[in-house]
């Protein structure tokens, strides 16, 4: 599949500045990183096979999840980016008012000139609304045709907005409130089933799963609560680590979930039909047997690894095994851990692992991908250095070919996964810091040491092939496209 935008000539790449031996003699490593801002030249963007198209400041808010949706707005095709934010406060440049961080809405129809449309503050008295998912009424089975809907997770609640006019969103309903925490939801637009990551009081974890039927977002229907056995009220012993997020594949009748971020990770494969349709005595308080029924397979990661993202990459036909009579097609999950410490301190390096799941009952890691510290002195740059998450849009443009993985101060990495036993980097983009980029600090000998560094947090792609990076350190959203070898791999027109 090829993107619908008109082809353009390749743009010159930003040059990666490399200090020569004579420069290093003049600037010691100690002085190089002592300043909160890098020496001139290292402040520039760095890239390989990726080129910048556009940027939006996102009102200098710390950003988490972007999602980009094609919508018909006032009779015209538009592409709208919805961005969830971590807790914090910033000036709403459209109104002149200071607002707690909520949700940004940006028109990215022209990726070189994004237009900020609206900021939705969180519920009064709270801050942050990290997660966004979008479905249209033309996709949802029972919704109003021509409408568009935003599902978002706030600090202690889940809401649905009507965003048919993305510049004037309207609150449709408050699904649930009074939660201890929320995080990375998933919404099946083709069925309306929503998997909400929630912290329900009484459960033995800050994050488990609530399932709702949102096929008609104006009339939500609660289906059930779900968690790993040991997380439910009344259980004993150590509770499994909290849920981070899930991805469902309706046509395969599976839901793939990652638990933990940087430790005690668990990959779980669930039977979707049992999960949704099992008849429970009490859907709000399932028994241990009812929690175990949907579990098809699990992989328990080492205690020092998490499972931030679990992205299924299914039915891969591998060239290496084309002449084999067995296993010529295989299923995988890309498991991405999350780095949570600054400057490589007090934590194992978090990476990406390809897990083979053709035998679902026995998932098995077959390869890993890492960004070497020495390729950019990343441990010294400041902030986090390590993996965080991958794109989750399953567009055929990239599916089974390229994966985009964020690496905090090492930007986004473009990984060729056509041979999942040997993933290879074919590009990267590290944005330049700007006047909004916030410091990241560690304590050294009782004193704070702070540095300004890019913290590319999450990444997403749209169905045209554009790539969207958002920054945890307030640097904004960067819209980029592939060039060179990386672009050729997926057959995009140059």
CATH number, domain containing residue 44: 2.130.10.10
Is 4 within a domain? no
Q: Is pLDDT above 80 for 7? A: no
Q: Which of 153, 301, 157 is nearest to 240 (CA)?
A: 301
Phi (first) and psi of residue 274, to 5 degrees:
-65, -40
Evaluate whether residue 218 is within a structural domain.
Answer: yes
Mean of the per-residue pLDDT values of the chain:
92
Tell whether 30 is covered by a domain.
no
pLDDT digits (tens, 9 = 90+) for 308-349: 999 999 999 999 998 888 888 999 999 999 999 999 999 999
pLDDT at 492: 84
As for how many domains the chain has, the answer is 1
Flag whether pLDDT at 34 surpasses 60: no
The predicted pLDDT at position 13 comes to: 33
Task: State percent of the chain over pLDDT 90.
Answer: 88
193-237 confidence digits (pLDDT tens): 999 999 999 999 999 999 999 999 999 999 999 999 999 999 999
The per-residue pLDDT for 30 is 34
Tens of pLDDT, residues 274-306: 999 999 999 999 999 999 999 999 999 999 999
Distance set, CA 148 to CA 137, 218, 230, 468 (Å) = 6, 12, 38, 21
Instruction: Compute the average pLDDT of residues 382-405.
Output: 97
What is the model's pTM?
A: 0.91
With 70 as the cut, is the pLDDT of residue 180 above it? yes
How far apart CA 470 and CA 459 sit, in angstroms, is 7
In a domain, residue 18? The reply is no
Query: Rg of the Cα trace of the chain?
Result: 22
pLDDT in tens, 117-165: 999 999 999 999 999 999 999 999 999 999 999 999 999 999 999 999 9
Cα 127 to Cα 154: distance, rounded to the nearest angstrom:
8
Which domain does 315 fall in, by range? 37-489
Please provide residue 316's backbone torsions phi and psi, each rounded to the nearest 5 degrees.
-85, 125
* Residue 299 located in a structural domain: yes
pLDDT score at 35: 39
Comparing 36-45, 372-381, 386-395, 455-464, the range with the smallest average pLDDT is 36-45
For residues 421 and 354, what is the distance between their CA atoms, to the nearest angstrom?
A: 7
Q: pLDDT band for 12, please (50, 70, 90 cuts).
A: very low
CA-wise closest residue to 377 among 140, 28, 84:
28
Domain assignment of residue 392, yes or no: yes
pLDDT of residue 415: 98
Give, rounded to a whole angstrom, the gap between the first and last alpha carbons of the chain: 14
Q: What is the pLDDT of residue 29?
A: 34
Give domain status of residue 17, yes or no. no
At residue 186, what are phi and psi to the nearest 5 degrees? -135, 140
pLDDT band at 2 (very low <50, low <70, confident <90, very high): very low
State how far the Cα of 279 lies from the Cα of 224, in Å rounded to an integer: 10
Q: How far apart are CA 161 and CA 117, in angstroms?
A: 15
- Evaluate whether residue 378 is within a structural domain: yes
């Amino acid at each position: 599949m090829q993107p619908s935008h008109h082809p353009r000539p390749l743009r010159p790449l930003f040059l990666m500045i490399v200090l020569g031996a004579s420069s290093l003699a003049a600037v010691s490593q100690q002085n190089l990183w002592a300043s909160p801002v890098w020496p001139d030249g290292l402040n520039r963007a760095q890239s390989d096979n990726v080129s910048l198209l556009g940027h939006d400041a996102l009102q200098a808010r710390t950003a988490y999840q972007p999602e980009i949706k094609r919508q018909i707005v006032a009779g015209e095709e538009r592409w709208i980016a919805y961005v969830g934010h971590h807790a914090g406060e910033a000036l709403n440049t459209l109104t002149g008012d200071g607002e707690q961080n909520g949700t940004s809405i940006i028109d990215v129809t022209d990726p070189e000139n994004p237009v900020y449309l609206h900021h939705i503050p969180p519920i009064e008295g709270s801050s942050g609304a990290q997660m966004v998912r979008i479905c249209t009424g033309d996709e949802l089975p029972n919704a109003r045709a021509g409408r568009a809907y935003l599902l978002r997770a706030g600090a202690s609640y889940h809401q649905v907005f009507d965003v048919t006019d993305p510049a004037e969103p309207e609150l449709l309903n408050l699904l649930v409130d009074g939660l201890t925490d929320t995080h990375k939801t998933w919404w099946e637009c083709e069925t309306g089933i929503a998997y909400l990551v929630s912290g329900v009081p009484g459960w033995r974890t800050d994050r488990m799963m609530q399932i709702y039927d949102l096929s008609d977002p104006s009339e939500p229907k609660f289906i059930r609560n779900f968690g790993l056995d040991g997380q439910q009220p009344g259980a004993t012993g150590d509770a499994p680590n909290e849920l981070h997020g899930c991805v469902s594949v309706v046509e395969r009748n599976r839901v793939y979930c990652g638990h933990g971020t940087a430790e005690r990770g668990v990959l779980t494969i669930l039977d979707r039909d049992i999960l949704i349709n099992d008849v429970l005595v009490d859907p709000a308080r399932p028994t241990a047997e009812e929690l175990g029924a949907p579990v098809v397979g699990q992989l328990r990661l080492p205690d020092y690894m998490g499972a931030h993202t679990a992205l299924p990459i299914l039915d891969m036909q591998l060239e290496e095994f084309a002449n084999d009579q067995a296993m010529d097609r295989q299923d995988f999950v890309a498991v991405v851990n999350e780095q949570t410490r600054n400057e490589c301190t007090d934590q194992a390096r978090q990476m990406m692992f390809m897990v083979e799941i053709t035998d679902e009952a026995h998932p098995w890691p077959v390869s890993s991908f890492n960004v070497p510290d020495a390729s950019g002195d990343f441990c010294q740059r400041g902030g986090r250095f390590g993996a965080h998450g991958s794109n989750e849009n399953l567009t055929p443009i990239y599916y089974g070919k390229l994966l985009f993985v964020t690496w905090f101060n090492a930007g986004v990495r473009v990984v060729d996964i056509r041979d999942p036993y040997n993933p290879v980097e074919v590009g990267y983009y590290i944005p330049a810091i700007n006047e909004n980029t916030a410091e990241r600090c560690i304590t050294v000998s009782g004193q704070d040491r702070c540095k300004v560094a890019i913290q590319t947090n999450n990444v997403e792609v749209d169905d045209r092939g554009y790539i969207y990076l958002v920054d945890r350190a307030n640097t904004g959203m960067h819209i980029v496209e592939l060039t060179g070898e990386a672009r050729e791999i997926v057959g995009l027109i140059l």
